[in-house]
Structures are given as structure tokens and as C-alpha cells.
Structure 1
Amino acid sequence: MDEAPVVGLTTYREVAAWGVWNARADLLPTEYAAAVEAAGGVPVLLPPVALASAATRVVGRIDALMVCGGADIDPGRYGAEPHARTAGWRPDRDAWELALLDAAEEAGLPVLGICRGMQLMAVHAGGSLDQHTPDLVGQDTHSPGGDAYGEVDVRTEPGSRLAALIGERTTVSCHHHQSVATHPGFTPVARAVDGTLEAMEGTGDRWSLAVQWHPETRVEIGLTAGLVAAAREHAARGGR
């Protein structure tokens, strides 16, 4: 039996409370790791690391990378001034995940970006973000506020990798006030009914896909299953 592929998941670094403790912690909602495990992969959490060589070393030891959700990206990373609603970016996480994407590209590693992960993948490729999507679409459907997710209907592009994984239409759970504006090297493969870009995939042979929604919250296995399958193929080719 083949070994289960190892999928690295990027994490938050936040102040958190548990038991008697209230301290800085490296954490991630359980749904991400549970989705990877359900798809037959082994999840490994990747907190921000400042060591220059760390990203290359980590990528050499995993079979796929999932860039997970989180805070806004520093607008300076794409040459913009902060919008009034852009706040709380994490320079350590931005730097770490961009380094991971550099190393993943060099190694041909399969990558899935989720929410912030999609935005970071666009910025990594030289793209830019719309910093407050409600300014464009006139409503807050994509992020109703607090810990609530918005329900958004999306339509996928026929013939895309994404469509093969999840079908032509689906309803997704969103929690984002920013969205991708430009995305060099990526093809748009899903949009919401209001026109917001909800997914993109790389134009080359490497498995590189990103979605603006949170598939892990619906135990939606299609995307994660696709990533784990790509991870297994990468490992079989001698990726690590």
C-alpha cells in the first residue's frame, strides 16, 4: 500500500485561550487538517519561521502545500496604500508563506490556496487585490460579519481542473472582505453571481489551484481530494 502523502498547512500565530492559558499560539481550525485526513493525506502544520532556508527545507519534506485562510495581506506587498478597512496584517506570516510559495514553485510542488491563500498566491505572482469587495459589489454577502460565513453561489469554468473536482455549479461558504483583482499566470475558473473572482488555477502543468471560499467548513472533499491525489503523484515522481 502506498504511503499517505504529507500535506503542509500554513497556520495563524495569534493570542489564544485554552485551559488555564492565554498566550501566543500557532493554530489552525481543525477542519483544514480533518479534510486532508479524510482525503487520505497526513496534515502537518507549518507555523511562520524566520530562518532563511526553512521554506526550502520544509518543501523538500512535504508532498503538497495548502496556504490557509487568515488576516489581510500587507498592501505594501502589491504596491498599494492600505484601505480604511484593511488592517491587522501579519508581516511574519506574509514573508513565510511567500517563501513557501517560492520554494514550492521551484520544486513543482502541488499547491492549494484557500481564501487568504488565494490572495497571497495572486500577490506572489505579481498580482493585486481589491481591498474591500463590498465597495465593488454593493453588499456584504461574502462576509456578513463576526464569525458568520456568507453563502455564495458560484459557477465554474467548463473544462477546468476545478470543474472536474466540484462540478459546474455549487454553493460555497465565504468569509472575505478582499478579493483578487489581477492574477498573472493564473486562469479565472469560477465567479460568484456578482462577478467576484472565486477561483483561479495555474496555466502550466503543475497542480496549482486557489479558491476564495472555505471548502473545509462544508466537509467538501473534492478540492482536498484533488490536492492529496496530486501530492501522491508528486511523491511517486520522486518529489521527496
Structure 2
Amino acid sequence: MSRPVIGITCYVEPARFTVWETTAALLPYGYVDHVVRAGGRPVILPPAGDPAGLLDRLDGLILAGGGDVDPARYGERPHERTSHVRDFRDDAELGLVRAALEHGLPFLGVCRGLQILNTALGGTLCQHLPDAVGHTGHAPAPGTFGRMPVRLSPGSRIATILGAESQDVAHYHHQAADRLGDGLTVTARSQDGTVEAVELADRPFALAVQWHPEADDESALFEALVGHARR
């Protein structure tokens, strides 16, 4: 059986590699590696043109992590710690996730991907978690993942996929879902109450996590996505 094609959104940022220092479309290789290991064929989707027009060529979609969503997208003014906003990426990914949901395309959101999903469905974001939870455990230092447990809702899709009701996961985020978007159900929280996973029950496979599964060896979420994409 051929490998299902999994589109993965990406960053557009200044980067340095070999002898070059230039703006690049880039993605942590963990996403690519996990999709390949799960039996999929990864395709990187830069936020250019009309990525939603590619959906007929995809079997599944991953919205990857990245900078903060522009608070104007959910009707708020920016917090002083809101940063790395990329309007062109917001435009592309909001349109992409809405089109993917309309087409019933299997969908996995990661970190920013959860925030884009929530925003696309009319939700809002907590712009700086330390103000709400009183600690920096969700992003302990620049470029350093924190590890914290999350509790999964019994009987949820994600609990079934991961085979547990608690999981120790890699965190790197200072924002999270606040008011939920239409149709979303919270299916995981951290000990401080932060929303860590959401699902759409009326879609064949549409879920998002606030943590970073691409940073760990465990591939269960990617295997579940690719499995649904194959079907």
C-alpha cells in the first residue's frame, strides 16, 4: 500500500546553514522523522500562495508549532510578551485548517497548531501563561523543553491512542487556549489546569495537543494520524 501524503506546515524565519544566512522555510526534523516512521510521506507546506488549494493532494495534515498568533485574530490587544507574530503564516494556516475541517481531512495540531485550531473556531488564547498559573514550567528557558505530566480524559480519543490516562510530555509554550472554539472538547490538562489537548468529536480525526510530541521518541499520535489518512 502506498504511503499516505501528510502535509506539515512550517516556519519562515532567518536561518544560518552551511555558508548561507538567509530567510528559509524550515521545520524541526522530528516532524518529518515521526511521519516517516509512522508510514507516511511528509510534504512541507510553506505559508505561501493558497495552501488550502493543495488539500486534494493530501491524505492528512499536521499544523506544526511556531510563534504567537496575532491577538487581533481573536479580538484582543497584544500582551507585552506576545512575540514572533507572522501575519502571513496566520493567514495561511487559518485558511488551511478551516478548509481541512470542511473536507474532513485527518488533522493533528501541535502547540501553535492547537492555538490556530481554537482561533479558527472562534476561541481565544491566554497570551502569557505565567500570569495565569504562576510559574514558568511550560517554557522553562529559551530553547529548552520542560517536562510536565498531563492528565488525559478517560475514554477520549487521545487517551485511547496513548493507552494511558497520564503522560509525561515535552512542553515549550507560553500561551494556551482560553475560551474554547465552537465544537471543541478539552481532553487533556496539566496539573495547573492548562488546556493541553482538544478534540472535535464530529470529525473522523481532528485533535490537537499543546505539547511537542515531535520532540519525543513516542510516535503514537503520528501513527494514529497516518493510520486514519491511510483509510
Indicate the TM-score class for this superposition, using the shorter chain for normalisation: over 0.9
1:221 corresponds in structure 2 to 219
Which whole-Å CA distance do the structure 1 matches of 2:150 and 2:171 have between them? 11
Q: TM-score, normalised by structure 1?
A: 0.94
Note if contact 1:55-1:103 (Cα within 8 Å) is conserved in structure 2: no
Which whole-Å CA distance do the structure 1 matches of 2:98 and 2:65 have between them? 19
1:237 corresponds in structure 2 to none
Secondary structure at the counterpart of residue 12 of structure 2: strand
Which whole-Å CA distance do the structure 1 matches of 2:97 and 2:51 have between them? 8
Note if contact 2:40-2:226 (Cα within 8 Å) is conserved in structure 1: yes
Matched, 1:186 2:163: no
Which residue identity is paired with 1:126?
A: G
Note if contact 1:64-1:231 (Cα within 8 Å) is conserved in structure 2: yes
Superposition deviation, residue 22 in structure 1: 0.2
- 2:172 paired residue among 175, 178, 183: 175
**Alpha-carbon displacement from aligned partner over 1:121-178 (angstroms, at most 9, x marks no partner):** 0000000000001111100000012110111101100110000111211100000000
Moved over 4 A (4+): none
Q: TM-score, normalised by structure 2?
A: 0.97
Secondary structure at the counterpart of residue 57 of structure 2: coil
Note if contact 2:107-2:205 (Cα within 8 Å) is conserved in structure 1: yes
1:38 corresponds in structure 2 to 37
1:55 corresponds in structure 2 to 51
Question: What fraction of aligned residue pairs are identical, expressed as a percent?
Answer: 45
**RMSD between aligned alpha carbons?**
0.8
Note if contact 2:196-2:209 (Cα within 8 Å) is conserved in structure 1: yes
Which sections of structure 1, spanning at least 5 residues, go unmatched?
234-240
Matched, 1:82 2:81: no
1:1-240 correspondence runs (5 A)? 2-49=1-48, 51=49, 54-166=50-162, 167-183=164-180, 184-233=182-231
Secondary structure at the counterpart of residue 178 of structure 2: strand
Which residue identity is paired with 2:213?
A: P
Superposition deviation, residue 87 in structure 1: 1.6
Note if contact 2:45-2:51 (Cα within 8 Å) is conserved in structure 1: no
